[in-house]
Homo-oligomer: A and B are copies of this chain.
Amino acid sequence: MQKKHMTKPQQKRTLKTRANLISAAKHIIDKDNFEALRVEDVISIARTAKGTFFAHFKDKDALMDIIIGEKIDAYLDNLEALPSPKTISDILNAFEPLVQFMASERYVFDLIIRYSGAAQIDQIGHIATTFGRQTTILESWLSEANFRNDISPELQAEGIQAFMIQAIALKFCELHNSQSINDRFSLYLNAWLKPIIAH
């Protein structure tokens, strides 16, 4: 055990530097916002050299991916802790904080969209991973809740994500801003999860 600790003494230092950089970045984001983050400021607060920054993160976006991913993960943690929702309203309420965050800054939303996928397997970032997690959570909810049984919980989950994105995207579009994100999202989910078919 102790030996293992001693074999990688650098790792501790590396981890510390990395943590310093990330917390410096978070500090800036808390004080201002994501868009206002400058690499120069991060390293100056973290008391680190520029070279060190780029040794830890491929570029500024890579750091953003980590921080945003972490935030989303925190929302998902809370979400997971909730009792399995029974109604669409429950789902909406559960997702509200995450939706608010994603819609908080156009810059953040754009980044999430851009990083929701990866060009290559080895480029899967934090944000991309959270999307997978989101699906998993939704799937388990939906299999318990039994909204629809004509389609798989997975497909239902993907639909929910599509509508979530759509609702947020339309918020950034002034043409449609008469309606709140949640109202629109609610509309979509009702139509998606509770279709009423007349025979």
Contacts and interface: CB of A to CB of B under 8 A. Distances in A.
A170 B117 contact: yes
A163 B174 contact: no
A145 to B, nearest CB: 15
Copies in the complex: 4
A99 B120 CA distance: 22
Given A150-B196, A163-B159, A195-B148, A169 B110 contact: no
Interface stretch (A22-30, A55-63, A78-86, A184-192): A184-192
Which applies to chain A's interface (DSSP): helix, strand, loop or mixed? Answer: helix
Contacts of A151: 191, 195
A191 B194 CA distance: 12
A166 interface: yes
Contacts of A121: 174-175
Contact of A128 (B124, B175, B197): B175
A99 B156 CA distance: 22
Interface string A153-193: 00110110111011001101111100000000001100110
Given A165-B169, A195-B150, A159 B174 contact: no
A114 interface: yes
A185 B188 CA distance: 17
A19 interface: no
A152 to B, nearest CB: 9
Nearest to A158: B166
Interface of A: 110, 113-114, 116-121, 124, 128, 131-132, 148-151, 155-156, 158-159, 161-163, 165-166, 169-170, 172-176, 187-188, 191-192, 195-198
18 contacts: A110-B114, A117-B169, A117-B172, A118-B173, A119-B172, A124-B175, A128-B173, A150-B191, A150-B195, A151-B191, A155-B187, A155-B188, A158-B166, A158-B188, A159-B191, A162-B162, A162-B166, A195-B197
